[in-house]
A and B are shown apart, each in its own frame.
Chain A
Amino acid sequence: MVEQSLYLDNIFNSLADPTRRDILRRLIDAHYTVGQLAKHYDISFAAVAKHLTVLEKAKLIRKQRKGREQIVSIAPQAVKDASYYLKQYESLWSHRFDEIDTILKEIYES
């Protein structure tokens, strides 16, 4: 139980940072080497590597060594994160549609 909540804490911390969210978003589409990823950000290579360590600890990404390079890919957990964003979008539209229901009801009653 304690382990489970520690694990969830890691995930929430990971997703709280915009750079880490952006890294995850990129990884949904493709694999990157650490160097390739670092090029996309204004922060230092070391800072990007640090973010990757946080994400790896939260089991959101995987790092695999291939020769001299490390390939970063998304872990299944992060794919679930994508479905989390989808849920967010669905919430927005559900909210809109519920408002529309109210408006339609008013049109009917008047």
Chain B
Amino acid sequence: MSHRTVITAVPGVPIIQIERIFDAPQEKVFQVFTQKDKVARWWSPSDEVHIEQLEAHEGGTWRFTHIFDGREITFYGVFHEVTAPERIVQTAEFANLGERGHVVLGRYEFTKFAENQTRMLLTEAYLTTQDRDTALQSGMETGLAQSYGNIDNVLQDM
């Protein structure tokens, strides 16, 4: 059975936190977040993904593209800090937005949770609540809605 993903967003504050436990030591989990061949396998729900750049070191850049219904969707950014196996701080921006400046700061923290278990806490800081909401909706725009969030989810929320 997989662990639960805990996502928190405080209304009016442009921060999202995502938390998850993994059944592996920090070093292994860290590899999965920083190695090209690993990220290629988990980052996109699309079958077609290109990890164009992933230089997981301070000042390194990253650029990932995935393809949905023939449409290329690209995200890119810079690594501010990469401290194995405990922390990654990076910027992220959505290339298809049509205007620049909507940057997100992401901090991944990996801590020992139990023997052979790691807790990952991702904190995403957006510049405005509107930027945050656009990001939340990106799932819909990438066709994720069809795969995961179907009408049943909406019904449950009402």
Contacts and interface: CB of A to CB of B under 8 A. Distances in A.
Interface string A29-50: 1000000000000000000000
B145 A28 contact: no
Contact of B140 (A26, A88, A97): A88
A107 interface: yes
Interface string A1-14: 00000001001100
Contacts of B75: none
Interface residues of B, number: 40
A108 B133 contact: no
Query: Which secondary structure characterizes the binding site on chain A?
Result: helix
A101 B3 CA distance: 9
Contact of B20 (A86, A88, A91, A97): A97
A80 B148 contact: no
B129 A29 contact: yes
B24 A104 contact: yes
Interface size class of A (residues with CB under 8 A): 35 or more
A100 B5 CA distance: 13
B53 interface: no
Contacts of B134: 25
B30 to A, nearest CB: 11
Interface in A59-110: 77, 79-101, 103-104, 107-108
Interface of B: 2-3, 5, 7, 9, 11, 16, 18, 20, 22-24, 28-29, 31-32, 38, 41-43, 45, 129-130, 133-137, 139-140, 144-145, 148-149, 151, 153-155, 157-158
